[in-house]
Chains A and B, each alone.
Chain A
Amino acid sequence: MPRLFLPSILCERGGGIDAPLEVEGGSVGAVFDAACERHPALRRWVVDEAGHLRQHVKVFVNEREAGLDTSVEPADEVHVVPAISGG
């Protein structure tokens, strides 16, 4: 089963998530949907209501940059990584 890795801030804002999560899904989007079924508060922190990844959030599958429609295999690791930015 794919494993979803989240930064600590998303674990907190998602309502106290103990990451990584092991969730079913054949794509990044499906993995994320499955995670949000368990932790609904997580969704809006990663994707907006139009269904797009937030501008300053990247997703990687096994260290390769990915999108929500990228295929995911059972042994894959999916990492959600916020941009390092600010001021």
Chain B
Amino acid sequence: MVEMSGGADESEQLELLAGTRKGLFVLRGERGGPLEVAGRAFKGEEVEYAIRDPRRGRYLASVTHGQFGPHLYLADDPLGEWTQADGPAFPENAGAAVTRIWTIEPGQREGELWCGVAPAALFHSTDGGRSWELNQALWDVPQRPRWEGGAGGLCLHSICPHPDDPRRLAVGISAAGVWITEDGGASWRWGVEGLVPRYLPNEARGEATSFCVHDIKRAPLEPDTIYMQFHGGVYRSDDAGATWNDIGTDTGLPSDFGFPLVIDPRDPARAFVIPLVADVDRVTPEGKVRVYETRDRGASWQARGKGLPGNDAFLTVLRQAFDHDGRDPLGLYFGAESGEVFGSPDGGETWSTLAEHLPPVYSVRCAVAG
């Protein structure tokens, strides 16, 4: 999440936060040019995710130590001193322990943040991320005993606050579908109508509880519009996540399997996905790295690959490794498990390699420098 800025007269400095298997890389430079590794935090540790909260300029990072578990940290300078947060951690009566902190999302109220973890649960902070409290209502939904995890475990990885109403939220869970609250998390309802879990036999789909959402993003200018990358399927909801329309079949995508997606914050009809071959072969199709763009709400998709590896390039781009910078034209950035970070300063028209030879990239998030 970044501020939306006005355009070319604004600062052209860019800062990317790349969470990797071996630390947090802070990449800085001129927007549109090569970036340099300004520094690395949490050396040797797995940094699952890191963001800069644009409201206070505070950085938050999810770090999993191989022997000592997941921890969340805060800093005013990503290359300075990080302070450990109090949580997220389950209360004693939950009988569970956090195994991974997947995502952190600023909320709408001052100091409010949301956090998604494995096992699938939502935590809430009202003090800028220093302390966290479990959302008990989602933890207690009666369907939970039937929830199953995907390959990444049972995790809550996507959080979509509503820009106009802090009581409304949609979250994505692998593999338990979309859950929606309209009362600030006091109650939750399931939003999976229209999703087709093709990974299940036909006869099992009617009673399915296993809906493997890979990513969801809400259009800020049209908050009832949410796009989804599913485990085999790309969907759009026009009713804030209650029902879903297939926009991945016969619409120009080489595959409807993938992980991350991005929405243009200025245009609810415009979104981007990065297809992979299939769940059994999670690499870029045909040895070509391409981002696909729709400008018509998913009715059609066009490849955007100029400047990206186009020959013998079999990359994997993970769920949280794709972001935009909120600028106009829109800057797009993604990282790969093979250690590259790519960027486009012009909404996907042209791309360049911004960094390479990094450890496997788990997440990429924009933070405007200076």
Contact = CB atoms under 8 A, between A and B. Distances in A.
Nearest to B90: A49
B67 interface: yes
Q: Interface SS of chain B: helix, strand, loop or mixed?
A: loop
Interface residues of B, number: 16
Interface in B69-93: 69, 71, 84, 89-92
Given A49-B98, A50-B96, A41 B84 contact: yes
Contact of A13 (B68, B94, B97, B98): B68
Interface string A29-66: 00000000000010011101111101011000000000
Interface residues of A, number: 19
Output the residue of B68, B90, B91 with the most chain A CB within 10 A.
B68
Interface in A1-40: 9-10, 13
Contact of B69 (A10, A51, A54, A85): A54
Nearest to A50: B97
List the 10 closest A-B pairs by CB distance, nearest first. Answer: A48-B97, A82-B67, A49-B89, A56-B67, A45-B68, A50-B97, A49-B97, A49-B90, A54-B69, A86-B66
23 contacts: A9-B68, A13-B68, A44-B69, A44-B71, A45-B65, A45-B69, A46-B68, A48-B89, A48-B98, A49-B89, A50-B94, A50-B97, A52-B97, A54-B67, A54-B69, A56-B66, A56-B67, A57-B67, A57-B68, A82-B67, A83-B67, A85-B66, A85-B67
Interface of B: 65-69, 71, 84, 89-92, 94-98
